[in-house]
Each structure stands twice: as C-alpha cells, then as structure tokens.
C-alpha cells in the first residue's frame, strides 16, 4: 500500500483520523502539518487546515522510525522492535520524519476528547504553545458558529474587519450582511455598502436593528444606481436610430413594441421599425403584427446592406427602433454579423436588454461577448419576476451604464417604466410596479 496524503479543516481533524483508519487500516504511521487556505469565496480571511501524510508501517524507511503505532477502538497498541508490546494512551499517534518536509523532531501527540498534549521529543514547550493556540482558535470558531445562523459568512466577515483593523461585526451587522449578500450582491460590495450606510449616519448605532440597517443600505444602493430616465429622443422633425441587443429570450421585441406605442401613439411621433432578426421567424411576425396594429412602417432586413438602406430611409425624421436577433454571446458568427451591420450604419443609441433575473456570473460572460459591439444604455426586462433590488444594482454595477427603462410585464404598451429614483423607491417600499 502506498503512502497517502489527506487534507481537512482543523476542526475536522478527528474525523480525518477516523477516515484514515477506515481506508488504510489500523497499522499506519502519520505526519501532520498545519497550513492555511483562503476563506469564504476566497475573499475573506483564511481557514486553518491540516495536512496528514499516512503510510503503512512496511513502507516507512528503517532509519525514520523504530516503533509502529496500531490504532484500535480501545486505544493504540505500540509494538517495539524487540517484539514487546504495551498499551498507551488512546488516540496517540507517532509522527515520523518524512523526507522533503521540514518538521520538528519526531514526537507523539496525544489527542483526547478533552485535552491536547505533547509527550517526548525536543522543543516540547514550542509545540505545546502552538497546540494551545490551535485549541484557542478552534474554540473561538465554535463560539462564532454557535452564535450565528449564518456561521460561515459570520466568521468570514469578522476576518475582513480584522484584516482591515476595524471593529468586529455586531450580530445586527452579521444578519444584515447575510441578507444583502442574498440579494446576489458580491460579498465585498455588500460589506462596502453596509459600511457606507453606517458612516453616512453613525448615530444611534446601539439601537440599530436589522430592518433599520437594511433600509439605510437600500437608500445607498438606490443612490448608487445610474439612471437615465428613459431614452433621449431628438425634437419633433428630427430622427434617430436606436438598436436593441441582448441574449435570446430577454424580451427585446416586446420592449420595442412598448416603446413604439409610447412614441407613436402617446407622443404622436413618427416611428419606424426594423427587424434584423433573421434567425427567429416568430420574432419577425410578432413585430410585424405590432406594426400593423399601430400602423407603423416596418422593414424586414436580412443583411448589413439592407439594414443600412432601411436606416437611411427613415432616420432623418423617424424614431427608428431596431430589433436584433437574440444572439448567444458564444456564437461568434452572429456577433460578427451584428458588428458588421452597425459598422455600415451606426445607431445613435444601442440599448442592451438584460433579464432582471440574470445572475452576476452570467452577466459577466454576456458583457465580455457583447463588449465588441458596444452599448450606451441598459434596459432591464422582466422586473416583475424578481423582488430583489440587488439584481438591479449588480447589473448596473457590472455594466457601468445607465438604466433607461424597466420592463415590468408582457402587456403592450403599459408594462414599461422610465428608470427613475421615484419608481425604484416605490417598488422597494410597496412592491408595486
């Protein structure tokens, strides 16, 4: 049997020894090394881990150790080279010198239920002190885990504060921070938001509740979101081209129909529609149906040249709304076609439509792929399908572009809102859209 290497968190050390016994039997030699790993999400502090090298007695070099250790349920039976035998204290393990690993001289470490001690070997005082520190750290971790329903974030958040020299988090701050992270906000950003909310109003901290702190954080979040209050259109008699891009199924066609109704019917502006979506037949028919109902001109184009011709026809005095194919960010051919079309006739505005339920990691991937096209505003669709303010904040923060509209349902033309502070505040306070 070959030697094996194991790793476990420090508090799971006892379980790891039991696992070694199950996998390798009772007649094994082990050597331990304590080290650190990155903590929560790799961002907050570190965790204490133990590395164990385990090998059967037969594989140990003769000049490394003279005695072997037999781990049994009753204790550890130490067999000497002379064939003698004696029972030693339960859970005693002998640590050999292993080539390639710098360790103190071999010593026996007793791990009982209630205490940790050291017997034998040189430098005992240093090892005892190290183990006392380990015990103290494990006890502190256990205390923190017991005092918080969000134990892992709690330990991590204290580590952040400790490394920055700040005070530890209170129980109210622990709970608040856990909830803010639950909004799909990056943990470090969540911590910064909370610190900002506290620093802007440092009074009455002793009586601060979770609800009060969350209210403060929501105010900070709303203040940090970039809002454009709709799409800026030129005066009557002048035109523009606005293209809408985004992944498949985010609601581009419905968004365009809503805006076409508002500009064309409500504002009595000249509006023209262009469908550059040649990959989804249903999208063309859907947009054509909307155009027929509102009596708007529509052009179905299949390539960049036809797109340019349609833009040149209407852009002087119409608000031209362009529906593009729901391109997968991973389809390089489709992305190239879209870039080429925009090169031939550059839109005055490019609006990236993003589903409000999109997770942060997926937004990052989408932005990486659409970065070659470029966009100046965000339309957040399907806001009615989420109740999280964090989704708006995360999308806005990652794109670093102002939000122009919120799409809040399927009804045309009613279910679209201009992106404003007033709307977000009402939505947060009442849940109404």
> pLDDT band for position 332 (50/70/90)?
confident
Express each pLDDT in 237-282 by its tens digit: 999 999 999 888 888 999 999 999 999 988 999 999 999 866 665 6
The domains of the chain are located at 4-123, 145-224, 240-430
Number of H helices, E strands in the chain: 13, 17
Average pLDDT estimate for 130-137: 57
Identify the residue whose tokens are 């063309």. Answer: 284
pLDDT at 364: 85
pLDDT at site 352: 94
Residue 46 has a pLDDT of: 54
pLDDT at 283: 63
Coil, helix or strand at residue 240: strand
pLDDT at 18 over 90: no
Residue pair 199/213 in contact by the 8 Å Cβ criterion: no
Helix (H) or strand (E) holding 17: helix 13-24
- What radius of gyration, in Å, describes the C-alpha atoms of the chain? 32
Q: Is 331 exposed, middle or buried (0-12, 13-18, 19+ CB in 10 A)?
A: middle
* pLDDT grade for 296, boundaries at 50, 70 and 90: very high
Give yes or no for a contact between 403 and 380, defined as CB atoms under 8 angstroms apart.
Answer: yes
Beta 68-71 vs 28-40: how paired, if at all? unpaired
pLDDT at 414: 86
pTM over 0.85: no
The first and second tokens of residue 427, run together, are: 């939505």
> Does residue 98 carry a pLDDT above 50?
no
Q: Which of 138-152, 221-235, 385-399 has the lowest mean pLDDT?
A: 138-152
Answer whether residue 358 shows pLDDT above 60: yes
* Residue 210: its H or E element: helix 210-224
Contact yes or no for 176/210 (Cβ under 8 A): yes
At 338-354, the pLDDT tens digits run: 889 999 999 999 999 99
Q: What is the pLDDT of residues 361-404, one digit of tens each?
A: 888 888 887 878 889 999 999 998 887 788 889 888 888 899 99
Reported as a single tens digit per residue, the pLDDT across 53-96 is 888 875 444 443 333 334 343 443 444 444 444 444 434 444 34
For 165-204, give one letter per residue: b (16+ CB within 10 A) or e. eeeebeebbbbbbbbbbebbbbbebbbebbeebbeeeeee
- What's the CATH number of domain 240-430, 3.40.630.30, 2.10.10.90, 3.40.50.300, 3.30.1280.10? 3.40.50.300
Summarised one tens digit per residue, pLDDT across range 167-191 is 567 888 888 998 898 888 888 889 9
What is the average per-residue pLDDT within 129-148? 51
Q: What is the pLDDT of residue 406?
A: 94
Residue 137 has pLDDT above 70, yes or no: no
Q: What does pLDDT average to over the chain?
A: 75
The label of the residue with tokens 């399927």 reads 410
């Amino acid at each position: 049997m070959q030697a094996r290497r194991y790793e476990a968190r420090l508090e799971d050390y006892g379980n790891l020894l039991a696992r070694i016994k199950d996998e390798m039997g009772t007649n094994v030699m082990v050597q331990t090394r304590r080290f650190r790993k990155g903590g929560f999400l790799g961002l907050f502090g570190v965790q204490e881990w133990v590395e164990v090298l385990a090998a059967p007695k037969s594989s140990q070099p003769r000049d490394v150790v003279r005695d072997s250790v037999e781990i049994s349920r009753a204790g550890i039976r130490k067999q000497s080279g002379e064939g003698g035998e004696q029972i030693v204290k339960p859970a005693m393990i002998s640590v050999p010198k292993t080539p390639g690993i710098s360790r103190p001289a071999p010593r026996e470490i007793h791990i009982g239920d209630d205490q940790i001690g050291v017997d034998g070997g040189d430098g005992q005082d240093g090892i005892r002190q190290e183990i006392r520190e380990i015990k103290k750290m494990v006890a502190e971790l256990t205390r923190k885990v017991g005092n918080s329903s969000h134990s892992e974030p709690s330990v991590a958040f204290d580590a952040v504060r400790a490394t920055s020299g700040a005070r530890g988090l209170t129980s109210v701050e622990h709970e608040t921070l856990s909830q803010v992270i639950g909004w799909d906000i990056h943990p470090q950003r969540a911590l910064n938001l909370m610190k900002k909310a506290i620093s802007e109003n440092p009074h009455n901290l002793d009586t601060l509740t979770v609800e009060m702190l969350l209210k403060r954080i929501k105010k900070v979040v709303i203040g940090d979101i970039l809002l454009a209050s709709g799409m800026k259109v030129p005066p009557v008699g002048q035109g523009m081209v606005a293209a809408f891009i985004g992944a498949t199924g985010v609601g581009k066609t419905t968004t365009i129909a809503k805006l076409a109704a508002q500009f064309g019917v409500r504002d009595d502006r000249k509006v023209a529609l262009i469908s550059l979506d040649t990959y989804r037949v249903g999208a063309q028919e859907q947009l054509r149906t909307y155009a027929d109902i509102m009596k708007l001109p529509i052009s179905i184009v299949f390539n960049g040249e036809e797109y340019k011709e349609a833009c040149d026809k209407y852009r002087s005095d119409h608000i031209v709304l362009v529906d593009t194919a729901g391109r997968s960010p991973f389809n390089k051919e489709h992305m190239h076609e879209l870039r080429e079309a925009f090169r031939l006739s550059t839109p005055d505005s490019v609006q990236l439509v993003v589903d409000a339920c999109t997770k942060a990691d997926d937004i990052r991937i989408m932005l990486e792929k659409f970065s070659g096209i470029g966009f100046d505003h965000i339309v957040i669709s399907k806001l009615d399908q989420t109740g999280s303010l964090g989704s708006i904040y995360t999308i806005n923060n990652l794109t670093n572009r102002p939000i122009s509209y919120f799409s809040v349902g399927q009804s045309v033309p009613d279910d679209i809102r201009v992106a404003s502070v007033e709307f977000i505040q009402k939505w947060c306070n009442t849940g109404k859209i």
